[in-house]
Amino acid sequence: MDRNRKFRQLIEDRLTTLTDDNSLGRDAQAVVELDQQAVGRLSRMDAMQSQAMALAGQVRRDAETQRLRQALQRLDQDEYGWCDECGEQIAEKRLEIDLTATRCIGCASG
């Protein structure tokens, strides 16, 4: 399997996982009802904290989804895997760790 096909499949697999995770997280993001009879004050605070964490997770997943879609665009334009700064090819191991990397390790750490 050539490099571009391999990374396209990895990116598409990750996008599928994010979509599945989004579906699971929707219930946790629901509005916490104010019903003191059904839920005590501390339980409601716990539910609100869980809701905030679910919303933060959604924001992170949305940002990653956007970066992955941009990576697919770079693949379509034959620009994926090339450093935006120096123009050198990004190491395959680096891309495996971060599918959305746009800079080689030298430029990213320098």
Query: What is the residue-level pLDDT of the chain in tens, covering all 110 positions?
Result: 599 999 999 999 999 999 988 877 565 555 555 555 555 666 777 877 888 888 898 999 999 999 999 999 999 999 999 999 999 999 999 999 999 999 999 999 98
Please give the Cα distance from 107 to 46 (Å, whole number).
43
**pLDDT at residue 49, as a whole number:** 86
Q: What are the start-end ranges of the H helices in 26-84?
A: 41-76
Domain ranges of the chain: 3-80
The answer to whether residues 66 and 43 touch, using CB atoms and an 8 Å cutoff, is: no
**pLDDT at residue 41, as a whole number:** 62
Please give the Cα distance from 95 to 106 (Å, whole number).
14
Question: Angle, to 10 degrees, between the axis of helix 3-25 and the axis of helix 41-76?
Answer: 160
